[in-house]
Structure 1
Amino acid sequence: MDREKQFEHIVSLKKELEDATIEYWRQFSDYSTWQFWVILAMLIIPLIVLFLFIDRKKIFLLGFFGFSIHVLAAYLDALGVRKSWWDYPYIAIPQLPSSISIDASFIPVYFIFLYQWCLNKDKNYWLYGTLSAIAFTFIFKPLLMGLHLFELYTNWFVLLGAYLFVVYAAKLITNLFIKLSERA
């Protein structure tokens, strides 16, 4: 099979997958299920809390840090789903990644508040970020598994590595940009 035919085949498989995902959502994950509402709440409620309680004096720093967390978490989550390391059986919006509520709201907001707390209380982000990654891996994800909102198909330490990478890389990126802005 030549390149064009192979690529057309991949595109048709993606269309089939999209159709199957939407049909799955209609049958098992639409607005008539409690799972839909839990996932939607995990998307909306953290953003409301963030709006109400973010330190407005540090909003750009915290926003940049949170955006870094979001991007890194979303890419790693997409990789994990694509590699079948884990997946999310219920979807809030079938056209978006299945983990949108966790990667775009729940995790970034949590880590924004953690970073804000560490800055305001002069606490060690690296320590508390590490402890948080461990808690997300061994407490939060098993809770989601118990609710059948998350399925893990690999070793728990792969998931922990993903969380640690996000926690550390977001802080390093933020520190880099802080240093660059100080030199300007």
Structure 2
Amino acid sequence: MTTIEKMDKHANETQEIAKQAIDLWQHEVVFSWRWWLGVIITIFTWLFWIKYHNKESRYRLLLAGFFVTTVSISFDALGVQLGLWSYRYEVFPTIPAYLPYDLALMPVVIMSMIQYKPYYSPFKKSFIFGFLTAFVGEPLIVLTDIYKIEKWHFANSIPIYIFIYLIAHWLTTRKEFKEVT
């Protein structure tokens, strides 16, 4: 069997597994309480941000939020693909990441932290964010059976969360933006 034939066979197997996952999602996940929890988290998190964000800093904060979303989805999908963790009860069945976490909680929490007490040390904020997210946020989502850890530990997430926060903060302090008030 040639390399191309092997790759085609693998692609066909992957597509069949994806079809089975979508079928399972349609019959057992969508409209379950865990699915609704994800939808509600996503909607209310963004409604909170829309109501309480600093309007003068909107685009600067959204730049940070877009960065956080992009990195979160990328790292999350990579972790799923490498078998480090898995998700059940996804809001959308074809994306290997938990979108309420990556598209709502992560960016909105970071954007809110950046705008709250803007002169407080970003390093201290990043450590607070990293530890709380790893040791409170992740265990809570495990308790709901939405998130299953395979070959990972909560503590492994701390430096990643710190890095994401610090880069997001750095993006918001570029000279192109008006100072936070």
TM-score, reference length from structure 2? 0.88
Contact 2:69 2:107 survives alignment (8 Å):
yes
Where do 5+ consecutive residues of structure 1 fail to align? none
Q: Which residue of structure 1 lines up, in the alignment, with residue 66 of structure 2?
A: 67
Q: Which residue of structure 2 lines up, in the alignment, with residue 86 of structure 1?
A: 85
Offset from partner CA, 1:46-93 (integer Å, 9 cap, x none) = 111111111110111111111111111111111111111111111112
Q: Matched residues in 2 for 1:6 and 1:158: separation?
A: 35
Q: Which residue of structure 1 lines up, in the alignment, with residue 100 of structure 2?
A: 101
Q: Which residue of structure 1 lines up, in the alignment, with residue 128 of structure 2?
A: 131
Displaced runs of 4+ in structure 1, greater than 6 A?
none
Q: Matched residues in 1 for 2:3 and 2:117: separation?
A: 52
**1:173 CA displacement:** 4.4
**1:147 CA displacement:** 1.2
Gap change, CA 1:129 and 1:118, over 3 Å in 2? farther
Gap change, CA 1:118 and 1:125, over 3 Å in 2? farther
TM-score, reference length from structure 1? 0.87
Moved more, 160-169 or 37-46: 160-169
Equivalent position SS for 1:118: coil
Q: Which residue of structure 1 lines up, in the alignment, with residue 162 of structure 2?
A: 164
1:151 paired residue among 134, 148, 159: 148
**1:130 CA displacement:** 1.4
Equivalent position SS for 1:148: coil
Q: Which residue of structure 1 lines up, in the alignment, with residue 10 of structure 2?
A: 10
RMSD of aligned residue pairs (Cα, Å): 1.8
The aligned amino acid for 1:40 is V
Where do 5+ consecutive residues of structure 2 fail to align? none
How many aligned residue pairs are there?
Answer: 176
